[in-house]
Amino acid sequence: MTVSPASPQETAAGRDLCRATAIRRISARIIEAPTTRQHKLSNTSVRHQGYIFVTVELENGVTGFGEGSTLGGPRWAEESVEAMKANIDAYLAPALIGHPACLAEAASLQMERAAKRNYTAKSAIDMALLDATGKTLEVPAHVLLGGAVRTSFEAVWALASGDAAQEVEEALEMIRRGWFRRFKIKLGFADPQTDLARLAALQAALPAGTPLVADVNQAWSEAECIRHLPALRDLGVSLIEQPIAAGQTAASARIAARSEVPVMMDESVSTLAEAARESAAATGSVLSLKLCKHGSAHTLKRVAGIAAAQGVQLYGGCLLESSIGAAGHLQAFATLPRLEWGTEQFGPKILVEDLVTEGLRYADFQVHLPQGPGLGITPNPEVIDKYARKE
């Protein structure tokens, strides 16, 4: 006779946990945190980073925190902080009141029924549920995701002011501090020749062999890629990120096939279906993972698994998260069997003030997984209040 395993609600301990972690309240605040310098992309530029800061209160009195990040409003993706707050308040939070935080997969299904897409808003809530459940059980969030296979990550810093001299100074300071020795250069906000000249100046000024990632942010056409990708190779670029617009699968596959430098998919892959389609079409040999694209830590892991099954290597992306969002990413990244390209969770270091009492540790050119239950970090209420948008 086959005996079906009991669900969490069918055991005494499971019933107790579900009651204890039932969600009492979910609230969302808009945070506008100033950055230390201008951060430019192909279609926008920011001096303040926008976050949705989510608080989840459980019936046992435990509070979990999560964060969703945008870049300059609904320009990088369709969500803005205003839209996230509106949809959390009106649709996502009401769907989860009374639901056990420990049943994260079921919570994702509830949110999917309440609102389509809205991946960043959902990921912020999911992060807070993991934080609250981890605190309840007194375990790090990565334990709830399968357990860590690494506790530190090779870190990547993004250079995106557009001023080559300033960027050289910034990069050398990061090396001197022992924080970063790999750099991503944002391209696409100038014409290709200007971008290539800036990249050449950086390459000449940095120590020989410094790994460089070129992020074109969907700014080039296929013709421009054919013309300019060889120059990126000659300048020592080790990885090229999303050179043309997402959705151009056939053209992306042709570009990846021609390029002697690996091409990384980013904006083109959010969903499981997109991961399967783009990986099978060979539009890139590396994939950037971000919670804000995938909607939850569990979905991020499924996207990573689909890509890895096709031989695609993995890169831990970011969207300038504070230590709150960065910690959420690291908890998920720590559980991936492979993360060949490390992570660019540099966001906490670009903020004038981080949003936590004690930020992530950067040392020996690594960013280190925070210790402690849940996300392993504690938001700073004074800083949160300081930068919260007044309703």
Which of these three, 96, 119, 138, is where a domain ends? 138
The answer to whether residue 382 is catalytic is no
Residues 6+ apart with CB under 8 A from 135: 62, 63, 64, 373, 374
The CATH number of residue 278's host domain is 3.20.20.120
Active-site residue (options: 79, 241, 278, 344): 344
Which of these three, 69, 104, 138, is where a domain ends? 138
Is 7 within a domain? no
Closest residue by Cα to residue 72 from 240, 316, 269, 319 = 319
Is 232 within a domain? yes
Residues 174 and 77 both lie in one domain = no
Residues 109 and 168 both lie in one domain = no
Is 130 within a domain? yes
DSSP one-letter code for 365: T
Residues 283 and 196 both lie in one domain = yes
Residues 112 and 221 both lie in one domain = no
DSSP for 108-142, please give it.
HHHHHHH-SS-HHHHHHHHHHHHHHHHHHHTSBHH
Which of these three, 88, 113, 138, is where a domain ends? 138
Residues 224 and 349 both lie in one domain = yes
Is 390 within a domain? no
Active-site residue (options: 40, 186, 293, 301): 186
Residues 239 and 334 both lie in one domain = yes
At 342, list the tokens. Answer: 């490390």
HSE-up of 282 (CA within 13 Å, CB side)? 9
pLDDT in tens, the chain (391 residues): 444 455 656 788 889 999 989 999 999 999 999 998 877 665 566 778 899 999 999 999 999 999 999 987 777 778 999 999 999 999 999 999 999 999 999 999 999 999 999 999 999 999 999 999 999 999 999 999 999 999 999 999 999 888 999 999 999 999 999 999 999 999 998 899 999 999 999 999 999 999 999 999 999 999 999 999 999 999 999 999 999 999 999 999 999 999 999 999 999 999 999 999 999 999 999 999 999 999 999 999 999 999 999 999 999 999 999 999 999 999 999 999 999 999 999 999 999 999 999 999 999 999 999 999 999 999 999 999 999 998 7
Domain count along the chain: 2
Q: What is the pLDDT of residue 3?
A: 42
Q: What is the pLDDT of residue 13?
A: 86
The CATH number of residue 40's host domain is 3.30.390.10
Residues 295 and 167 both lie in one domain = yes
Residues 273 and 352 both lie in one domain = yes
Q: How many helices (H) and strands (E) does the chain have?
A: 16, 13
Residues 56 and 131 both lie in one domain = yes
Angle at 158 between CA 258 and CA 39, to 5 degrees: 110
For residue 111, give its domain range.
Answer: 20-138
Residues 173 and 242 both lie in one domain = yes
At 295, list the tokens. Answer: 């909607």
Closest residue by Cα to residue 126 from 332, 311, 281 = 332
Is 283 within a domain? yes
Q: What is the pLDDT of residue 2?
A: 46
Residues 90 and 164 both lie in one domain = no
Q: What is the pLDDT of residue 72?
A: 75
Q: What is the pLDDT of residue 127?
A: 98
Residues 133 and 150 both lie in one domain = no
Q: What is the pLDDT of residue 9?
A: 63
Is 272 within a domain? yes
Is 171 within a domain? yes
Question: Which uninterrupted H or E stretch holds 211?
Answer: none
Is 108 within a domain? yes
The answer to whether residue 293 is catalytic is no
